[in-house]
Structure 1
Amino acid sequence: MTVAWLLLVPLLLITVHTAVNALLLRRPRRDATTIERVAVLLPLRDEADRVRPCLESLLTQRGVPNLDIHVLDDGSTDGTADVVRAVAGDRVRLLTGGPLPDGWLGKPNACRQLADDAADADVLVFVDADVVLAPDAIAGAVGLLRETGVTLLSPYPRIVGAGRLVQPILQWSWLTFLPLRLMERSPRPSLAAAGGQWLVADRAGYREAGGHAAVRDDILEDIGLARAVKRSGGRIALADGSRLATCHMYSSWSELANGYGKSLWASFGSASGAAAVVVLLLFLYAVPPLFLPVAGPAVAFAYALGVTGRLISAAATGGRLLDAFAHPLSVVLFAWLVARSFHMRRTGRLSWRGRTVAVPTKKG
């Protein structure tokens, strides 16, 4: 099949790029130490059932003698603050979040309040409630922040929990399509990526970029913050944090679908851009296996290249190797989630944690 043979060229180049990125992927050092003043910032909203492991991991950090933990309860109704008090007592600073201002989304507002409260810190470490850190994670991440000289470091944790066919697409996508070292050097805001589960920021650079006020209405505030840093002249970097952190993002498929639904549409510049990306992914990775029973070696090789890319990504980021063989199904599920997200946006059904997610107006 001529078309199948033509597929091999881009697939081979893409897979080679994945391998190069995996070899160049930065990783925090183990057993690092730092004497800098570090503030861990933990925003919470209705997290009573899963914040305990996160808090316990923060309380056992080592190699960071000047560490303060700031926790903000953002209008929880499930007793989240009581859990924080029971687990951490007076070892953390527990704040009560104020009302959500007009024009702000919940998480940027919570992170802004936390950053304001940590005025004396040299480094800000933003952590989500579903992240559990190894005892040397913060010291290692701060060390890598200074070693690379970037303003914002995103050490991506190992994703666990529901969605084993979909969640690895996140790491695979930036390893496969994003030139990581070029992203670090380039001043272009459009060439940016970050994962909001765990972010490490130089406080001075964070303030220069405008902090979370610069992304007050961004659905993807993590990527928005990375772009704001670049606009202010700072630099960003992605790193593999899978050896130092896990993130249990979702406990069920319905929770995953709703989580992706609220924000996946914002990952693309437009509906037409999303359609182009989805069609390309389906053509490269989901269509060839359909012809495996009747086609020749070109189709088999195309499927093998797709699986190889996922295997490389899984090995580099702590993922499950066996799941790579279902990569075509992963791409199909991802395509469905993209379509569903745009439908939710169009019908005004975007919400999260009991709050309606307002679609921001375009900035001129």
Structure 2
Amino acid sequence: MIGYALLPWIALTGHTLVNAALLRRPPREATVTERVAVLLPLRDEAARVTPCLESLLAQRGVADLEIIVLDDGSADGTAEVVRRVAGDRVRLLTGAPPAAGWLGKPHACAQLAAAAGDRDVLVFVDADVVLAPDAVAGGVALLRSAQVTLLSPYPRIVGAGRLVQPLLQWSWLTFLPLRLMERSPRPSLAAAGGQWLVADRAGYERAGGHAAVRGDILEDIGLARAVKRSGGRIALADGSRTATCHMYASWRELADGYAKSLWASFGSPAGAAAVVLLLLLLYAAPPIVALMSATVELALWSVCAYGMGVLGRVIAAAATGGRTWPDPLAQPLSIVVFAVLVARSFALRRRGRLSWRGRPV
């Protein structure tokens, strides 16, 4: 009886295991002959752009590589830091203010892509990402071997947020059929992480580039869907062995970062409520039920359900360079905190109080 009652948790954790086994990874020490442009949009990143720049300048394995940096109206001396660290080894552009209907990051990325001319491959990188010396070559090699238009190698997340940040990788390993996503033409079945994207230039242009997602808060997922609508293919990969991303330095930064985008992640408030309720029932409720159980059988079922949730987190962490212990034990609390962040995002959205980097969202 307990076995049948645990079927949802067994199925989800089994799916996590299957995805982890099939997860693509950029090859190490690859060499590529294509013309590659690494594109780095910056806005008020003076305090943290140096490690990213230094890692880009150290890239090897790409025969023809150009690094293009765009200063998007920074007020903290970002451009001066770029000049001091990179000198003339990068092309530094001064970005134009976003036109009507454009959000800041899509506008910056569109300008960078235009500046790249007819390069074969475009590699978009955020300022909080640090790449291993063979990362760009490995990303391009995997883009071609997987025969996709857009590749999203997910970096290892470091910094603040150990309680909720691992849910990013865990969620797509647990709920998203990765290989089916690659084969399916459905735009709704798409995922991507904008910290590091590798795009075939021709396919990127067929999809409309960042102009196609000019007003999207989640421009990375929007771009993946645009690629599918244009007939292209996308793929997620584990980039934790070749890239790290220091997304947030504090819990306050994390809360504000999640607030600007979580409201747009579920399609509608009703969709968000349904997803959050399901997560709470599956992963937060079992420990509570175990503590309040009137029977041994119910207590045993609850403990097993909790254990399956923890196991799923362990599998996801092992596959993506995360902490396999003891962080997964806090899975119920992670889900509760995530639910609070979702509610806060919608509340701030309703009040018109969302902004990022000094610009309203």
TM range (shorter): over 0.9
SS at match of 2:31: coil
In the alignment, what sits opposite 1:352? Answer: 356
In the alignment, what sits opposite 1:362? Answer: none
Q: 2:29 aligns with which of 5, 28, 31?
A: 31
Letter in 1 for 2:173: L
CA distance in structure 2 between the aligned counterparts of 1:79 and 1:138, rounded to whole angstroms = 27
In the alignment, what sits opposite 2:339? Answer: 335
Letter in 1 for 2:33: I
> Contact between 1:7 and 1:302, CA under 8 Å: does it hold in 2?
no
Q: 1:303 aligns with which of 302, 306, 327?
A: 306
Offset of residue 65 of structure 1: 2.1
SS at match of 1:66: strand
CA distance in structure 2 between the aligned counterparts of 1:80 and 1:292, rounded to whole angstroms = 53
SS at match of 1:287: helix
| TM-score of the superposed pair, with normalisation by structure 1 | 0.96
Offset of residue 324 of structure 1: 0.6
Moved beyond 6 Å, runs of 4+: none
In the alignment, what sits opposite 2:176? Answer: 178
Offset of residue 297 of structure 1: 1.0
CA distance in structure 2 between the aligned counterparts of 1:219 and 1:41, rounded to whole angstroms = 19
In the alignment, what sits opposite 2:250? Answer: 252
Offset of residue 120 of structure 1: 2.5
Offset of residue 294 of structure 1: 4.4
In the alignment, what sits opposite 1:204? Answer: 202
1:116-265 aligned within 5 A: 116-265=114-263
Offset of residue 6 of structure 1: 6.2
Q: Is the alpha carbon distance of 1:223 and 1:135 closer, same or farther for their aligned partners in structure 2, counting shifts above 3 Å?
A: same
Offset of residue 35 of structure 1: 0.8
* Post-superposition CA distance 1:234-290 (Å, at most 9, x none): 000000000000000000000000000000110001000100000000000001111
CA distance in structure 2 between the aligned counterparts of 1:324 and 1:198, rounded to whole angstroms = 25
* Post-superposition CA distance 1:21-71 (Å, at most 9, x none): 000000010000001000000000000000000000000001012000000
CA distance in structure 1 between the aligned counterparts of 2:120 and 2:228, rounded to whole angstroms = 19
Letter in 1 for 2:8: P
> Contact between 1:39 and 1:125, CA under 8 Å: does it hold in 2?
yes
CA distance in structure 1 between the aligned counterparts of 2:4 and 2:252, rounded to whole angstroms = 38
Offset of residue 293 of structure 1: 3.1
Q: Is the alpha carbon distance of 1:275 and 1:267 closer, same or farther for their aligned partners in structure 2, counting shifts above 3 Å?
A: same
> Contact between 1:43 and 1:107, CA under 8 Å: does it hold in 2?
yes
In the alignment, what sits opposite 1:292? Answer: 290
CA distance in structure 1 between the aligned counterparts of 2:220 and 2:194, rounded to whole angstroms = 5
Alignment root-mean-square deviation, CA: 1.0
Count of aligned pairs between the two proteins: 355
* Post-superposition CA distance 1:71-117 (Å, at most 9, x none): 00000000000000000000000000012100000000000000000
CA distance in structure 2 between the aligned counterparts of 1:180 and 1:119, rounded to whole angstroms = 32
Letter in 2 for 1:335: A
SS at match of 2:32: coil
- Say if 2:61 is the partner of 1:57: no
SS at match of 1:229: helix
SS at match of 2:140: helix
Q: 1:113 aligns with which of 111, 114, 131?
A: 111
Offset of residue 7 of structure 1: 4.9
Letter in 2 for 1:75: G
SS at match of 1:237: strand
Letter in 2 for 1:351: S
CA distance in structure 1 between the aligned counterparts of 2:17 and 2:275, rounded to whole angstroms = 21
